[in-house]
Chains A and B, each alone.
Chain A
Amino acid sequence: MTALAAQPSPDIEGLRKQAARIRGRVLEMCHASKSAHLGSSLSCVDILTAAYWHVLNVDPKNPNDPERDRFILSKGHAAMAIYATLAMRGYFPEEELATYNQDNGRLAEHPPANMLPGVEAATGSLGHGLPLGLGMALAARIKGEGFRVYALLSDGENNEGSVWEAAMFAAGKKLENVCIVVDYNKWQATGRSNETLALAPLRDKWAAFGWDAHEVDGHDIGRLAEMMANVPNGSSKPVALIAHTVKGKGVSFMEDDNNWHYRAPTAEEVAKARAGLGLV
């Protein structure tokens, strides 16, 4: 693995095409398996693309390198998106994506523990990923390893008390090598996230909890790539990126429609969606 060098400017057009290919895969996986969480998977694809194709210091051929950056999909229900991302990044063969949610496979509806290369933590119960990541970040400090820890949270996940326990802990221990991205798609499973609990103002909350908190367009891959790469950023604080996203992003007839939290698309809908993404 190469040492962290100055990051080149992101290849935005290349990243956009990659994100479209991931979305196309996710749509196929969802259709084939008739599983839930399509909207939640589509909303975070640009964040995953920026992370895995620009930000993270990782080597898919050496997935257990102690010095690798850690990326935790704390919103484990977006498993389809992380599986497609990891496969396309080279952690395991893309053909294995066809086994998603099938009998006797490694790709369950939430990421498994100690089974799939690239999956740093088994998630699915919300509010676990950040505390795990903070333990990893402290391990880096104790052992003198220079890696960074990223965790992708959902906005609904911010309902969990453990998230705010972790928020105070990270700030208290000055874990500046930690970065969270909140996939703020404005929906949770059964309602608007700001009507369910009082989430807003979310950036201000994270800032008040001692984080260097910023808002960002969660579909602006270039901006995401730059901001996520800039960790630690000199503030001596952990970094929170509140990424404004659209649930179901990339498919016109799914965007901001929460029915796609649970619905799976028909073959016709997949074809239409893929065409809209510019995929054949």
Chain B
Amino acid sequence: MRNAFADELTKLGQEDPRIVMLSGDIGNRLFDRFKEAQPERFFNCGVAEQNMMGVAAGMAMNGLRPLAYTITPFVTTRCLEQIRTDAAYHEAPVTVVAVGAGLSYAGLGPTHHACEDISFLRSIPNMVVLAPGDAWEVRAGLRAIMQQKRPVYMRIGKKGEPVVHDGPIADFEIGKALTLANGSDVCILSTGNILPEAMEAGRLLDAGGISTLVVSFHTVKPLDEACLRNAFERYERVVTVEEHSVVGGLGSAVAEWAVDASVDTRRLLRIGTPDKFFKLSGTQKFAREQLGMTGHQIAHRVSATLRERDSAA
């Protein structure tokens, strides 16, 4: 995802003279082509994220379209007040790009894990919160962001994730979820880099006789309310899947919406990381297994809740 981001950014940088790239001393060689093409519009801001975010806001207040990029905790919680006060309060169109969403950098330890960021960012007025599900969504999302005039938060994974879409997404819109697999019993709403596992869960459920719709719910704010209404009206289970804490992420956003919209909230199943730090060493795959986030485990939990309902009936 990060390579797709850098590649698409390089293309956009040639088309749009307002685009400025700010890096928090990260992405070794990743932005070489951007730097080569636009040397006057790339800034390594050093390990100083508060200043980087303020600089980005100051640029955006003066007609530019800066992107501020580094590892998720450092470009979110480290400088959250700058995002809130400098970018969002001023309605300055800064794009905050967080690499290493969720457990992408599991092996680097909890200092580098990012399972709380959606919670913080979506509570800030004026922010758009985007969590693309694969490299093609990153590319389409980035282009869509540059058509916006608002501050945007985009969390992306690392490199080498499986690609879900077949190619460029022609009809990508911020706030409009994308259907990736059709089904009639269960609706999986996946946000962000967990999408390949959600797709696997859908395939496994289908194979077990549970027809499953899989949706890439790439925009956590604003919510695609039409998609949600359809999901709660037509599906026995609506399952949110995210590599993010069950506190404050997509599942929480959908639960809040569902209560306010008076839909049947008993249909909602929220799958995310638990409200605790994951302290063991190991790969993202290992961490997902430990936390019940693999496709197989997701499918198992969904079918288990359907069985509970059947036995209660």
Is B54 part of the binding interface, using a Cβ–Cβ cutoff of 8 Å?
A: yes
**Contact partner of B59 among A121, A135, A161, A165, CB < 8 A?**
A135
- Contact check, B46 vs A131: say whether CB atoms are below 8 A apart: no
- Contact check, B62 vs A136: say whether CB atoms are below 8 A apart: yes
* Whole-angstrom CA separation of A144 from B20 in the bound complex: 15
- Contact check, B54 vs A128: say whether CB atoms are below 8 A apart: yes
Is B175 part of the binding interface, using a Cβ–Cβ cutoff of 8 Å?
A: no
Contacts of B66 in A (CB 8 A): 135
- Contact check, A113 vs B59: say whether CB atoms are below 8 A apart: no
- Contact check, B90 vs A172: say whether CB atoms are below 8 A apart: no
- Contact check, B63 vs A139: say whether CB atoms are below 8 A apart: yes
- Contact check, A169 vs B55: say whether CB atoms are below 8 A apart: yes
Contacts of A162 in B (CB 8 A): 48, 50-51, 54, 82
Residues of B in contact (CB 8 Å), total: 30
Is B43 part of the binding interface, using a Cβ–Cβ cutoff of 8 Å?
A: yes
- Contact check, B46 vs A139: say whether CB atoms are below 8 A apart: no
Identity of the chain A residue whose Cβ is nearest the Cβ of B64 in the assembled complex: A139
A interface, by DSSP: helix, strand, loop or mixed?
helix
Nearest Cβ on chain A to B157's Cβ, whole angstroms: 28
Q: Output the residue of A113, A139, A140, A168 with the most chain B CB within 10 A.
A: A139
- Contact check, A128 vs B86: say whether CB atoms are below 8 A apart: yes
* Whole-angstrom CA separation of A208 from B62 in the bound complex: 30
Q: Would A128 and B48 be within 8 Å (CB), given that A138-B43, A139-B62, A142-B20 are in contact?
A: no
- Contact check, A165 vs B43: say whether CB atoms are below 8 A apart: no
Is A181 part of the binding interface, using a Cβ–Cβ cutoff of 8 Å?
A: no
- Contact check, A138 vs B50: say whether CB atoms are below 8 A apart: no
- Contact check, A135 vs B55: say whether CB atoms are below 8 A apart: yes
- Contact check, B61 vs A135: say whether CB atoms are below 8 A apart: yes
Contacts of B140 in A (CB 8 A): none
* Whole-angstrom CA separation of A173 from B63 in the bound complex: 20
- Contact check, A136 vs B61: say whether CB atoms are below 8 A apart: yes
Is A108 part of the binding interface, using a Cβ–Cβ cutoff of 8 Å?
A: no
**Contact partner of B90 among A114, A125, A131, CB < 8 A?**
A114
* Whole-angstrom CA separation of A160 from B58 in the bound complex: 18
Is B271 part of the binding interface, using a Cβ–Cβ cutoff of 8 Å?
A: no
Q: Would A169 and B48 be within 8 Å (CB), given that A113-B91, A132-B86 are in contact?
A: yes
* Whole-angstrom CA separation of A139 from B20 in the bound complex: 9
Write the B72-101 contact mask toward A (1 if CB under 8 angstroms, else 0).
000000000110011001110000000000
Identity of the chain B residue whose Cβ is nearest the Cβ of A162 in the assembled complex: B50
Is A133 part of the binding interface, using a Cβ–Cβ cutoff of 8 Å?
A: yes
Identity of the chain B residue whose Cβ is nearest the Cβ of A173 in the assembled complex: B43
Contacts of A138 in B (CB 8 A): 20, 43, 55, 58-59
Nearest Cβ on chain A to B18's Cβ, whole angstroms: 9
Q: How many A-B residue pairs have CB under 8 A?
A: 102
- Contact check, A113 vs B90: say whether CB atoms are below 8 A apart: yes
Nearest Cβ on chain A to B21's Cβ, whole angstroms: 12
Residues of A in contact (CB 8 Å), total: 30
Is B268 part of the binding interface, using a Cβ–Cβ cutoff of 8 Å?
A: no
**Contact partner of A131 among B40, B55, B89, CB < 8 A?**
B55
Nearest Cβ on chain A to B2's Cβ, whole angstroms: 24
Contacts of A114 in B (CB 8 A): 90-91
* Whole-angstrom CA separation of A207 from B43 in the bound complex: 23
**Contact partner of A168 among B48, B60, B63, CB < 8 A?**
B48
Is A127 part of the binding interface, using a Cβ–Cβ cutoff of 8 Å?
A: yes
Is B57 part of the binding interface, using a Cβ–Cβ cutoff of 8 Å?
A: yes
- Contact check, B58 vs A132: say whether CB atoms are below 8 A apart: yes
- Contact check, A132 vs B54: say whether CB atoms are below 8 A apart: yes
Contact residues of B between 159 and 184, Cβ < 8 Å to A: none
Nearest Cβ on chain A to B244's Cβ, whole angstroms: 27
Is B187 part of the binding interface, using a Cβ–Cβ cutoff of 8 Å?
A: no
* Whole-angstrom CA separation of A139 from B48 in the bound complex: 19
- Contact check, A142 vs B41: say whether CB atoms are below 8 A apart: yes
Identity of the chain B residue whose Cβ is nearest the Cβ of A135 in the assembled complex: B58
Contacts of B89 in A (CB 8 A): 113, 122
- Contact check, B40 vs A142: say whether CB atoms are below 8 A apart: yes
* Whole-angstrom CA separation of A165 from B51 in the bound complex: 6
* Whole-angstrom CA separation of A125 from B55 in the bound complex: 16
Contacts of A84 in B (CB 8 A): none
Contacts of A133 in B (CB 8 A): 58
- Contact check, B51 vs A131: say whether CB atoms are below 8 A apart: yes
Q: Would A121 and B20 be within 8 Å (CB), given that A135-B55, A162-B54 are in contact?
A: no
- Contact check, A143 vs B45: say whether CB atoms are below 8 A apart: no
- Contact check, A128 vs B90: say whether CB atoms are below 8 A apart: no
Is A166 part of the binding interface, using a Cβ–Cβ cutoff of 8 Å?
A: yes
Is B56 part of the binding interface, using a Cβ–Cβ cutoff of 8 Å?
A: yes
Is A134 part of the binding interface, using a Cβ–Cβ cutoff of 8 Å?
A: yes
**Contact partner of B81 among A125, A135, A137, CB < 8 A?**
A125
Nearest Cβ on chain A to B268's Cβ, whole angstroms: 37
Nearest Cβ on chain A to B236's Cβ, whole angstroms: 46
* Whole-angstrom CA separation of A140 from B53 in the bound complex: 17
Of the A-B pairs whose beta carbons lie under 8 Å apart in the complex, a sample of 14, sorted by A's number, is A66-B63, A113-B89, A113-B91, A114-B90, A125-B81, A131-B52, A135-B60, A135-B66, A136-B62, A140-B62, A166-B55, A168-B46, A169-B51, A172-B46
Chain A to chain B: the 8 pairs with minimum beta-carbon distance, closest first:
A135-B58, A131-B54, A165-B48, A165-B51, A139-B62, A135-B55, A162-B50, A132-B58
Q: Given contacts A134-B58, A169-B48, could you give 6 more A-B pairs where the C-beta distance is less than 8 Å?
A: A122-B85, A122-B89, A132-B58, A135-B55, A135-B58, A143-B62
- Chain B interface residues toward A at CB < 8 A: 20, 40-41, 43, 45-46, 48, 50-64, 66, 81-82, 85-86, 89-91
